[in-house]
Chains A and B, each alone.
Chain A
Amino acid sequence: MTSHGHPDESPEDPDFCSALPDAELLTLAASGDEDAFRMLFLKHYSVVRSVAARILCDLGTADDIAQETFVRFARSMADIRDPSGLRAWLLRVATHLCRDHFRSGTRRASRERDFSALCLPASDEQSQCFHDIPAALAQLPPLHREAVVLVFYENLSHAEAARVADCAVSTLSWRIMLAKRTLKALLSR
C-alpha cells in the first residue's frame, strides 16, 4: 500500500483517505495492508464516536465504545460480506455496544448529567452549545434515541437505519415518530 498515491499524501490526510473507496481499502486491509487498515480507522473513527456519544450522551464512554468497535472490526474483517457497507457495519457494532452499555446499568440518571461537556464551547458562534438538545435526547428511551441519531444525524434512510438497528423498518419508523413527538414537545418549551 505504501507504493500507492502521491508522496505528499499520508494516511493523516483526510482527503487522501476519502479518495479511496472503502471496498478497495477493505480488500487491501484484509490482505494484511496496515496502511489501508489505518486509513479506514482515520476515515470512520469520528463518525463512530459521534454516534456513540449522541446515543449515550457521554463522551468518555463514547471513546471506549469507538475503540471497541474498531478492535472488533480488526478481528472481524473477514466476516464483512459487503465491503461497500462498511460504515453501516461499524455503526451496527457501535449501536449494539451502546445497548450492551445500557443493559449493564452503569450510566447515570439523566438528571445527574452535566450536558455542557457534550457540546462544543459556546464561544464558537458557528457551533453554539445548545444544552437543551442533548438534555431532551437523553429523555428518550435508548432505542428511540438510537433511531433519531441514525436518521437525523447520520442521514440514513429508515430502511438503512433499520438494518443497523436490527429491526423491521416499520418498527424503526414507529420509534422515529414517537421520538419526534417527544422532542417537539420538549424543545418547543
Chain B
Amino acid sequence: MNDSELRQKLAAWQIPPSSQAARSRAEWHTLTAFRNRGTRSGPPGSPLFYFPKLAVISAVLLVAASTLFFLQPVHHAQPLQNSAPLLAELEEFFQGRLAAAIQHNGSLDLQLAEEPMNRPPDQRVAVRIAVRDESFVILTYSGQSVCLETGAGRICVTPLINGAGEVILLGESGLLEHQAGLRTEAHLLQGI
C-alpha cells in the first residue's frame, strides 16, 4: 500500500454529525461563556494598558468576596423560586427541547430532547436534592425523569404535581422523601 492508497482509505472514514441536542447544548454553554466574559471596547493592546483597571477590579472583587464570605451562612442556599428566570432563559433558547437543567457544584448540566416537546406552562418544577455534602438543583417538568450521579450512587427522580398542586418526588422505590440520607425540597415554578 502506498501513501496515496493509504490517504484514500483513511478518507472513507466520515464522522457522523452531532446530535441536535449536543450541538444546541454546546452552543448554549458557549454563548453563556461569551456573555459572561469581560468585554473590551478598544483594540487589543499591551497587557500593561489593562493593568490599572484589572488591579482596581480585582481589589473590589476581593473585598466583595471577603464581605460575602463572612456575612453569608456557610450552608446558604438560594430559594428554589429564584431559578425561574434561568429556566425561562433556557426555554427560550432551546425552543421546547429542554428536558431538565441540573445545577451542581457551580456547573449546569442540560438534558435536551431531540424534538421539541409541548410543555404546559403550569408543569414547571424546581427540585433540590441533597445527599451527604452534595446538593443538586433540578429545573424540569412534572413527569420528567431525571437521574443524578452522586457520590453516594445514582439517584433517579420523577417529580409529579398531585391534585393539591404540590410537587411529590418519585424515586425508583417509592417516594424519594422517605429515603434515608436524602434531603429534598420541591416547588412549582410560577410566574415565568
Question: B43 CB to closest chain A CB, in angstroms?
Answer: 9
Interface size in chain B (residues, C-beta < 8 A): 31
Q: Would you call A71 and B30 a contact (CB within 8 A)?
A: yes
Task: State whether the Cβ of A118 lies closer than 8 Å to any Cβ in chain B.
Answer: yes
Checking B17, B27, B29 against A46 with a beta-carbon cut-off of 8 angstroms, the contacting residue is B17
Checking A70, A119, A128, A153 against B16 with a beta-carbon cut-off of 8 angstroms, the contacting residue is A119
Task: State whether the Cβ of B76 lies closer than 8 Å to any Cβ in chain A.
Answer: no
Question: A74 CB to closest chain B CB, in angstroms?
Answer: 4
Stretch in B6-14, B121-129, B167-175, B179-187 with 4+ CB within 8 Å of A: B6-14
Q: Would you call A133 and B26 a contact (CB within 8 A)?
A: no
Q: Would you call B10 and A153 a contact (CB within 8 A)?
A: yes
A77 partner residues in chain B, CB cutoff 8 A: 37
Kindly report which residue of chain B lies nearest to residue A81, judged by CB atoms. Answer: B44
Question: A94 CB to closest chain B CB, in angstroms?
Answer: 12
Task: State whether the Cβ of A13 lies closer than 8 Å to any Cβ in chain B.
Answer: no
Q: Would you call B25 and A34 a contact (CB within 8 A)?
A: no
Task: State whether the Cβ of A110 lies closer than 8 Å to any Cβ in chain B.
Answer: no
Stretch in A15-23, A49-57, A100-108, A164-172 with 4+ CB within 8 Å of B: A49-57
Kindly report which residue of chain B lies nearest to residue A66, judged by CB atoms. Answer: B26
Q: Would you call B34 and A34 a contact (CB within 8 A)?
A: yes
Counted as pairs of residues, one from A and one from B, with CB atoms less than 8 Å apart, the total is 104
- Bound CA span A139–B7, Å: 17
Task: State whether the Cβ of B89 lies closer than 8 Å to any Cβ in chain A.
Answer: no
- Bound CA span A118–B27, Å: 22
Interface size in chain A (residues, C-beta < 8 A): 46
For chain B, residues 1 to 59, give those with C-beta under 8 angstroms from any C-beta of chain A. 1, 3, 6-7, 9-19, 22-23, 25-27, 29-31, 33-35, 37, 39-41, 44
Question: A56 CB to closest chain B CB, in angstroms?
Answer: 11
- Bound CA span A137–B12, Å: 13
Known contacts A74-B37, A133-B13, A187-B9; decide if A49 and B31 are in contact (CB<8 Å): no
Checking B14, B19, B35 against A119 with a beta-carbon cut-off of 8 angstroms, the contacting residue is B14
Q: Would you call A188 and B1 a contact (CB within 8 A)?
A: yes
Checking A30, A67, A187 against B30 with a beta-carbon cut-off of 8 angstroms, the contacting residue is A67
Question: A148 CB to closest chain B CB, in angstroms?
Answer: 7
Checking B7, B22, B33 against A71 with a beta-carbon cut-off of 8 angstroms, the contacting residue is B33
Binary contact track A168-189/B, C-beta < 8 Å → 1, others 0: 0000000000001001100110
- Bound CA span A184–B26, Å: 36
For chain A, residues 33 to 66, give those with C-beta under 8 angstroms from any C-beta of chain B. 34, 37-38, 41, 45-46, 49-50, 53-54, 59, 62-63, 66
Kindly report which residue of chain B lies nearest to residue A48, judged by CB atoms. Answer: B26
Interface residues of B (CB under 8 A from A): 1, 3, 6-7, 9-19, 22-23, 25-27, 29-31, 33-35, 37, 39-41, 44
Interface residues of A (CB under 8 A from B): 29-32, 34, 37-38, 41, 45-46, 49-50, 53-54, 59, 62-63, 66-67, 70-71, 73-75, 77-78, 81, 117-121, 127-128, 130, 133-134, 137, 148, 152-153, 180, 183-184, 187-188
8 inter-chain pairs at a CB distance below 8 angstroms, sorted by A residue, are A34-B31, A38-B31, A45-B18, A74-B33, A78-B44, A180-B3, A187-B1, A188-B1
Q: Which 7 A-B pairs have the closest CB atoms?
A: A74-B33, A67-B26, A74-B34, A70-B30, A133-B13, A63-B22, A71-B33
